[in-house]
Structure 1
Amino acid sequence: MKKITGKDLLRIGFEENIILGKTLDFCKNYKGSLNKGEMLNILKNVIEKPIDTFETSAFYSLAQQIIALQKEMDSDTIPLETNPKPYTVFGSNYIEEGARKQMEIAMKLPVSVAGALMPDAHQGYGLPIGGVLATRNAIIPYGVGVDIGCRMALSIYDMEESFFEENQSKFKRELIAQSNFGAGNGFRGQYRFDHRVLENQLFNENPLLKNLKDKAWAQLGSSGGGNHFVEFGIIEFAERDEQLNIEKGKYVALLTHSGSRGFGATIAGHYTQLAKKVCKLPQEAKNLAYFDLNSTEGQEYWLAMNLAGDYASACHEVIHQKMQKALGVEVLAKVENHHNFAWKEQWNGEEVIVHRKGATPASKDVMGIIPGSMTAPGFLVRGKGEPEAIQSASHGAGRQMSRTQAKKEISKTDFKAILKDHNVTLIGAGLDEAPMAYKDIHQVMEAQKNLIDVVATFTPKMVRMADDGSRED
């Protein structure tokens, strides 16, 4: 049998503690006939429910050791509250049970104050994607998410729709030339970009961030993988918007979606593991491990998170400036917003930490962008500041198929047909990002009409994504 490593066990649900060591010892001394895959399948069940291991099983002694060790460690565990605090669900008919269960666990945390599920919500790690959670003086790394500061950015050009239609080859050429996609991809040598965000003193003060600075510099202005995109489209204002000073009509616009790349992902992974060590929660809540914001670790993560957010914004700024220069066009207005972040906000007269993991800030009169899919419209919106939504809205249409399911059920023929029907030019992307993998954006918008006002509608025309639909590293 091939050797089972600590990484193998961590991947199936073990944690870095004494149980992992005992299990590695067990595997080393195992003399049975199971292969590595079979062993890992059984060990996954043993760590999840050791009490269900039969006395006749070769794994029984290991299971009993795990039970004893878990009881010993549970003495340091922070208990969850018996019943979840109430939270509001928007678009209840479109939300899977897994997301609801995750939200209920989050609402049992002793630090939770208020919560809401947006209509695009679906199951994630820790807090569901589309989950909003307000806590009292506590910050949850997985409540923010792996792609810290993932955001939308929109540049509205002083350019009519007809110019785009007549010059599509130019737009396609610049879309390819001015964007860079794929997990781990970036720029080298003289092709790197400088930005004031790289001058932040945290790169000198925090050893983790210091080691990540070169990676951050290399990936500055790139877009990663997964559902990140750079796209041209037509944005239509049904009436003049005073806040943006834009007249009624149709305009060409650039819309981008990406986050803090490998820089943010490494920060998220490091501080999530640290949180699990200092904040021991029951098994079902372990991915919601949190820091007291007054602690050294809490302050470290808070500062690193904010830097990752600034870095994500800088990546968009580089892309939009490059595209503006390449096209030689005037920008009439720009709007952007985070949707994987945590903010200090007022709630019922007290300061709380509001985690929006895949949710758009929607305080009164705050503008944001809610995309649909590569063939469905997106929306420029203005928040209404709805208290029950903790001043939030959805961050998109939300997935109705997992990536694995989409790859199995959606054919390339159907994918190409829907792109043709909507007259959309696509560069890159895998089947896991096909429009059919997403919920109906119109249903999502209807479910949150009390949370936001629609200012303008964006129709995608030319979309670029990672060539293989790859995830961020």
Structure 2
Amino acid sequence: MTMTHDSPAPITGTHLIDWGHRPGPGFADLLVRANTAREHGADLAHVRALLAPELPPPPPVPLPLRGEGAVPLHVSIRAENVDEENNLNKVMATMREVLRTPTVEAGAVMPDACPAGPLGTIPVGGIVAARNAIHPGMHSADICCSVMMTDLGAVEPKKVLDAASAMTHFGPGGRREGNRFAVEEDLLEAFHANPFLRREKTLAATRTHMGTQGDGNHFLFVGRSRSTGRTVMVTHHGSRGPGAQLYKEGMEVAERYRQALSPTTLRQNAWIPADSTDGRAYWEALQLVRRWTRANHTVLHHAISTAVQASVVERFWNEHNFVFERDGLFYHGKGATPAWGSYADDASGRVIIPLNMAEPVLIARGRDAAHALGFAPHGAGRNFTRTEHRRRMGAITPEAQLAAETKGLDIRFYCGKVDISELPSSYKRANTVVQQIGEYDLAEIEDYIDPFGCIMAGNMPNRSRRPRYRAT
């Protein structure tokens, strides 16, 4: 009589899952290895031990939100009337929620602070210092929104404004073929090499949006220096399409980390760990977009100064929607200007602070105030929404209100229609902002650029105006 022995029961995917393995590309190979060992006489305990080195790392323990008040908040703003008080209450409420984000170690608000989204969204005029974390939502879609000034010497302001009207480009989209400014080849190559910037939509915008200013509160301002009498031009805009695409990509990656690391963190405050492969690539992408944005300002300044045959005295710039690394922390400024002289290789220690179209642009030297996390205001900010401002205008026409608020100034709207939400009355009182800059020792004002006039985007028609300027 011949005796037979039953073969051992095969190991199934259920066994592997029970042992902690997860289905994926290597799962089938694990099953083959497990059953081969089993056929060679290994019992279940030995097979489990054999495969143990292949176990995935344990999921991270979710980071809890910080308790309210656990993170210091430095406040450099005070209210002087009901509108300002209502605005400040909203700013403080949203900042308290922002500071519950697990990565955050300090926050600050500037005199121009105002809400910029749902509760828990960093406000305009807000600064957040985070450890090992880059928060795309805290620099916003308008990455590297910034201002550049050029001292044009003795040229007449109207001549500059006329040339600028013909050369600049406001509104959606970019310049058409034949009216574009060139982008440096090595910068395009760097965009191609970066995983956050290599998509065709981003690369196309890199080319077509060079020399454009967008819409909203972006502007081209011409005035005279109070200290020298020379004509000065100031532009305000950001990274346009390339920055918007980077923001979109960054938020998608940050959301994946949020779900794994801290699901209770608000979506708008998701972050990319700075020491991760994604974090390093995103940081590099931010620097490339910063470089593109500086070029975006520069091509306009160069073309206009050349057209009016100006003898350029000096030119400098600073950003106010960006992330800055300092002393091991990542400082996110949303509508806030870095006020220390070493934040970048091209930083000068001076800052440009526009107020509104009827007030001077301030040229100041940053004070690097510790109680403000080293920042200064970026402008005047708002006390209420654009919609509320329109409601308060009542029956008066935009044209009449513009004339009343900007008497003697040459104010132009690129698309032809007055945007009343950009009139001086829609912003905080300029003298209050200036006073609080001094009161909180945020910057030392060195000069005032008194306004001659400016160009704003204006209310957009269905199709943006074709630029008259032909770039060379």
TM norm structure 2: 0.75
Which of these residues, 94, 102, 111, is aligned with residue 102 of structure 1? 94
Matched, 1:424 2:410: yes
Q: CA separation in 2, counterparts of 1:287 and 1:220? A: 28
Q: Which residue of 1 is the match for residue 176 of structure 2?
A: 188
Report the residue type matching 2:222 in the other structure: F
* TM-score, normalised relative to structure 1: 0.75
Relative to structure 2, which stretch is displaced further, 410-419 or 398-407?
A: 410-419
CA distance in 1: counterparts of 2:432 and 2:263, whole angstroms? 36
Q: Does 1:393 align with 2:384?
A: no
Q: Which residue of structure 1 aligns with residue 246 of structure 2?
A: 267
Aligned residue identity for 1:318: V
Give the letter for the 2:126 counterpart: G
1:334 equivalent to 2:315? Answer: yes
- How far 1:341 moved relative to its partner? 0.5
Unmatched 5+ stretches in structure 2: 1-59, 342-347, 465-472
Aligned length: 375
Q: Distance in 1 between matches of 2:124 and 2:338?
A: 14
Percent identical among aligned pairs is 28
- Alignment counterpart, residue 353 of structure 1, candidates 330, 344, 355: 330
- Equivalent of 2:446, from 427, 438, 455? 455
* Distance (whole Å) between structure 1 residues aligned to residue 401 and residue 61 of structure 2: 51
CA distance in 1, matches of 2:96, 2:459: 35
Matched-pair contact (CA < 8 Å) for 2:358–2:406: no
1:406 shift after superposition: 2.3
Residue 88 (structure 1) aligned to one of 62, 74, 77: 74
Cα distance, 1:356 vs structure 2: 0.7
Q: Distance in 2 between matches of 1:367 and 1:409?
A: 37
Contact 1:419–1:425 (Cα < 8 Å) also in 2 = no
> Aligned to 2:358, what secondary structure does the other structure show?
coil
| CA distance in structure 1 between the aligned counterparts of 2:402 and 2:116, rounded to whole angstroms | 29
Partner of 1:301: 282
Pair 254,198 (structure 1): closer, same or farther in 2 beyond 3 Å: farther
Matches within 5 A, 1:304-319: 304-319=285-300
The answer (yes or no) to whether the contact 2:66–2:101 under 8 Å persists in 1 is: yes
Deviation at 1:306, TM superposition (A): 1.6
What stretches of structure 1 move > 4 A for 4+ residues in a row?
Answer: 281-284
Q: Report the structure number with the largest CA radius of gyration.
A: 2
Provide the residue aligned with 1:344 in structure 2: 325
Tell whether the 8 Å contact from 1:78 to 1:279 is kept in structure 2 after alignment: no
1:198 positional shift: 6.0
User: Aligned partners of 1:420 and 1:465: how far apart in 2?
Assistant: 13
* Partner in structure 2 of residue 120 of structure 1: 112
Q: Aligned pair 1:219/2:216, yes or no? A: no
AA aligned opposite 2:267 = K
- With over 3 angstroms needed to count, the CA separation of the structure-2 counterparts of 1:460 and 1:113, relative to structure 1, is same
* C-alpha contact 2:196 2:250 (8 A) present in aligned 1: no
How far has the Cα of 1:154 moved from its partner? Answer: 0.3
Give 1:287's aligned amino acid.
Q
SS of match in other structure, 1:303: helix
Q: Name the SS for the 1:173 alignment partner.
A: helix
Checking the alignment, whether the CA contact within 8 Å between 1:234 and 1:253 is kept in structure 2 is: yes
Retained in 2: the 8 A contact 1:114–1:133? yes
Partner of 1:19: none
The answer for the alignment partner of 1:26 in structure 2 is: none
Counterparts of 1:332 and 1:388, CA distance in 2: 35
Distance 1:420 1:307 in 2: 38
- Quick one: distance in 2 between partners of 1:400 and 1:372? 14
Partner of 1:203: 191
Distance in 2 of aligned mates of 1:121 and 1:102 = 11
Q: Structure 1: where are the runs of 5+ without partners?
A: 1-74, 238-248
Distance 1:434 1:283, change over 3 A: farther
Distance 1:120 1:189, change over 3 A: same
On the 8 A contact 1:227/1:469 being kept in 2, the answer is no
CA deviations 1:20-79 (Å, max 9, x no partner) are xxxxxxxxxxxxxxxxxxxxxxxxxxxxxxxxxxxxxxxxxxxxxxxxxxxxxxx98532
Q: Call closer, same or farther: CA 1:345–1:434 in 2, change over 3 Å.
A: same
